[in-house]
Amino acid sequence: MGAIDLRRLGAIALAVAVGVLAWDTRAIYPLKLLAVLIHESGHAIAAKLVGGTVESITIDSLQGGLCTFRYEPSFLHDVITSSAGYLGSAVSGALLLVAALRFNAGRLVLALLSAALVFVLVFWARSAFTFAAALGMAAVLGLAAKYLPSELSQLMAIFLAVFNSLYALFDLRDDLWSAERRAGTDAAMLAKATHIPSIVWAVLWTLVAVALLGLALWYSARAKKQPGAPAVRLGQP
C-alpha cells in the first residue's frame, strides 16, 4: 500500500479546494502572505548562493513582495536569482510535502517554517508590516508545532505544503499568463536581461512547478520497504 492515508488525502484535497474556490477571498489572506514571504525568501537565498548580499525583504497588505539584493551581474546569475521566487515556492512546497507525507515529520515542518520566518524578520524584514506579518505567522506555526496533536500537525503541514505549491502555480497563472500583469513580474525582468520572451519563462516555470508537485506526491505515495522482507534475487543461484 502507499504511504498516503485518507486523512492526508483529505488535507491535500482541502488545500486544492481552498486554492481553487477561495483564491480571491480574504479568508486565505494569511496563507497568501506566508507564500509571498517564501517567494521573496527564494530570491534572497539565490542571491546569497551566487555570492550576493541581501538588503531587505518587504511585503505589503496587497500581497505584493520585494526582495532587494546586490550581486555580480551575469547571464547565469540573472537566471538564478529571477527564477528563484517561483521555483523556490515550488521546490519548498515539494520538499515540505515529502517531509510530512513520506517521513511523518509534520511537527518538524511547522517548526522549521516558524524558525525560517524568525530568521527573515530578524535579518531581512525592513518594514513594520513585514515584521508584524512574519512575527505573527512564526508565532502561530511555533505554537502549532509545540502543542498540536501529532496527527493534526501532520495534516497542517501537508495542507501548507500543498497550498504553497499551488500558490506558485496560481501566481504563475495570474501574473505570467496575463500580458498586462506580466509587465512587472520576475519574468519581465528576466526577459529584459536575457532577451528571451517572458512567456517562455512562464511556460518553463509552470512545467517545472507542476513536475515538482507531481514528483513529490508520487515519491510520498510509494510503498515503503517492510522490515524483514526477504531479498529478491534474479539469475542463477
pLDDT of 3-29, one tens digit each? Answer: 467 888 888 888 888 887 887 788 899
Lowest mean pLDDT among 12-21, 46-55, 93-102, 142-151: 12-21
CA 177-179-182 angle, to 5 degrees, is 75
235 occurs within a structural domain: no
229 occurs within a structural domain: no
Total number of domains constituting the chain = 1
What's the rounded Cα separation, in Å, for the pair 176 and 156? 29
28 occurs within a structural domain: yes
Once rounded to an integer, what is the mean pLDDT over residues 158-166? 87
Average pLDDT, the chain: 85
Q: What is the pTM of this model?
A: 0.86
Q: In this predicted structure, what is the pLDDT of residue 24? A: 79
- Does the pLDDT of residue 172 top 70, yes or no? no
pLDDT digits (tens, 9 = 90+) for 60-95: 999 889 999 999 989 899 999 999 998 888 899 899
The CA distances from residue 120 to 109, 133, 213, in Å, are 17, 11, 25
155 occurs within a structural domain: yes
1 occurs within a structural domain: no
Q: In this predicted structure, what is the pLDDT of residue 223? A: 52
30 occurs within a structural domain: yes
The CA distances from residue 44 to 34, 125, 152, 174, 207, in Å, are 15, 12, 31, 23, 23
C-alpha cell at 54: 541581501
Which domain, by its residues, includes 197?
Answer: 6-221
234 occurs within a structural domain: no
- Does the pLDDT of residue 173 top 70, yes or no? no
237 occurs within a structural domain: no
